[in-house]
Amino acid sequence: MSSAINAMNWLPNRETRILVQGITGREGAYHTEQMIASGANIVAGVTPGKGGEWLFDRIPIFDSVREARHATDASVSVMFVPPRAAVDALYEAISADLALIVCITENIPIRDMMHVRRALAASQTRLLGPSSPGLIVPGQLKLGIIPTHITLAGSVGMVSRSSTLLYEATDALTRSGIGQRACIGLGGDTVSGTHFVDVLAFFEEDPHTDRIVLIGEIGGMGEQHAARFIREQMTKPIVAYVAGKTSPKNQRMGHAGAIIEDEIGGYDEKIEALRQAGVRLAESPDHITALLK
What average pLDDT does the segment 96-105 reach? 97
CATH 3.40.50.720 corresponds to the domain 17-128: yes
Q: Name every residue whose Cβ is closer than 8 Å to that of residue 261 and which is 6 or more positions away in sequence.
A: 219, 249, 250
- Is the pLDDT confidence value at 270 over 70? yes
Q: What percent of the chain has pLDDT over 90?
A: 86
| Residue 233: strand, helix, or coil | helix
Res. 265 pLDDT band, cuts 50 70 90: confident
| pLDDT of residue 195 exceeding 90 | yes
291 pLDDT above the threshold of 90: yes
Q: How far apart are CA 98 and CA 123, in angstroms?
A: 9
pTM score, whole prediction: 0.92
Return mean pLDDT, the chain.
Answer: 92
Residue 219 pLDDT: 87
Q: Provide the pLDDT for residue 261.
A: 52
**What integer pLDDT is reported at residue 1 of this predicted model?**
37
pLDDT band (50, 70, 90) for residue 6: very low
Weakest-pLDDT range from 131-135, 146-150, 264-268: 264-268
pLDDT at 94 over 60: yes
Q: Is 20 helix (H, G, I), strand (E, B) or coil?
A: strand
67/290 Cα distance (integer angstroms): 49
The per-residue pLDDT for 9 is 72
Residue 160: is its pLDDT beyond 60? yes
Q: Catalytic residue positions? A: 255
Whether 147-292 and 17-128 are alike in CATH topology: the answer is yes
Mean pLDDT value across residues 19-48? 98
How far, in Å, CA of 142 to CA of 128, rounded? 13
The residue ranges of every structural domain in the chain are: 17-128, 147-292
In whole angstroms, how large is the CA radius of gyration of the chain? 18
The whole-number average pLDDT for the span 96-100 is 97
Q: How far apart are CA 43 and CA 105, in angstroms?
A: 21
Residue 193: its pLDDT value, please?
96
Looking at residue 110, its pLDDT comes to 94
| Residues 16-37 as b or e (16 or more Cβ within 10 Å = b) | bbbbbbbbbbeebbebbeebbe
- Model pLDDT, residue 255: 55
Dihedral sign from CA coordinates of 107, 228, 185, 255: positive
- Tens digit of each residue's pLDDT (9 = 90 or more) over 203-261: 999 999 999 999 999 988 999 999 999 999 999 999 999 998 866 665 555 555 444 45
Name the amino acid, one letter, at 179.
G
Q: What is the second-level CATH architecture of the domain 147-292? A: 3-Layer(aba) Sandwich (3.40)
**Of the listed ranges 96-100, 116-120, 187-191, the one predicted with least confidence:** 187-191
Identity of the highest mean pLDDT range in 3-17, 152-166, 240-254: 152-166
CA distance to 34, 63, 202, 228, 283, per residue, from 221 (Å): 34, 39, 20, 11, 20
